[in-house]
Amino acid sequence: MKTVLLTGFEPFGDESINPSWEVVSRLEGVTDAEECIVCVQLPCVFGESLQVLLAAIARYSPTLVIAVGQAGGRTDISLERIAINIDDARIPDNQGYQPIDKPVVENGPAAWFSTLPIKAIVNALQQEGIPASVSQTAGTYVCNHVMYGLLHALGDKPEVKAGFMHIPYLPQQAAKHPGSASMAAETVKQGLEIAIRTALRVEFDEQITGGTMH
């Protein structure tokens, strides 16, 4: 049986919840004939978040890893294309650490591309009526840090697919951030299930444009 590892974050900044964990944790233990899902919460802390994630990979030997994070203000589910070797934090992490222009991995490559079939996932989400897009940047905070570290660690294991998905605020969060978009937990959960199914099913990504002009 294949194992799918999902991660969500603990809350950070002024938030009391993190939509990534709210949604990911609903899929804990979901099992069908071929796969079972394991969920792990990551601290919103540079370094420690990666240690927890890599320990989970060592423990569960997943064939698919999708890390999920909050992107407050974004309107849709976005599949990150690439993670870059930079930590540049606008606000301190949950341990008070605020790196500026430090590498995630000393002497690591400048970036790692997601190994998820991101175009196929975005297409499947849109076909099923769930707003989705490819994102060209995962930012420079803990989300990018985790995505970079995840892909760097799996660099020599091409048989494991891995990547990062950003999700909007939940409605109850957006209610406190006037003007911000949101997405219901139920919608995000459906989206995550579609992403998992697509990632497990698709061997080669689809040739569909998902780029941006700038």
Residue from 101, 106, 156, 203 binding a copy of itself (CB under 8 A): 101
Q: Measured between alpha carbons, how far is 170 from 18 in angstroms, rounded to an integer? A: 8
Beta strand pairing call for 161-167 and 82-84: unpaired
Degrees to nearest 5, angle at CA 107 with 105 and 112: 60
Nearest Cα to Cα of residue 119 among 212, 206, 211, 213: 206
Residue from 69, 115, 194, 196 binding a copy of itself (CB under 8 A): 69
Q: Which of residues 106-145 bind a copy of itself (CB under 8 A)?
A: 109-113, 119, 125-126, 128-133, 136-141, 143
The yes-or-no answer on residue 145 being catalytic is no
Q: Is 205 left (phi over 0), alpha (psi -120 to 50) or beta?
A: beta
Burial of 29: CB neighbours in 10 Å, binned 0-12, 13-18, 19+: exposed
For residue 203, the minimal CB distance to a copy of itself (Å) is 15
Q: Is 214 in the site for a copy of itself (CB under 8 A)?
A: yes
Q: Which is nearer to a copy of itself, 4 or 12 (CB)?
A: 12
Nearest Cα to Cα of residue 170 among 187, 184, 191, 152: 184
Structure tokens at 82: 């690439």
Region near a copy of itself per CB under 8 A, out of 1-9, 33-41, 52-60, 166-174:
166-174
Q: Measured between alpha carbons, how far is 155 from 144 in angstroms, rounded to an integer? A: 16
Residue from 39, 56, 86, 165 binding a copy of itself (CB under 8 A): 86
Q: Measured between alpha carbons, how far is 207 from 27 in angstroms, rounded to an integer? A: 30
Q: Which is nearer to a copy of itself, 3 or 187 (CB)?
A: 187
Catalytic residue, chosen from 166, 177, 186, 203, is 166
Q: Is 187 in the site for a copy of itself (CB under 8 A)?
A: yes
Q: Site residues (CB under 8 A) for a copy of itself?
A: 69-72, 74-76, 81-82, 84, 86-91, 98, 100-101, 109-113, 119, 125-126, 128-133, 136-141, 143, 166, 171-172, 174-176, 178-184, 186-187, 205, 207-214
- Residues with catalytic roles: 80, 143, 166
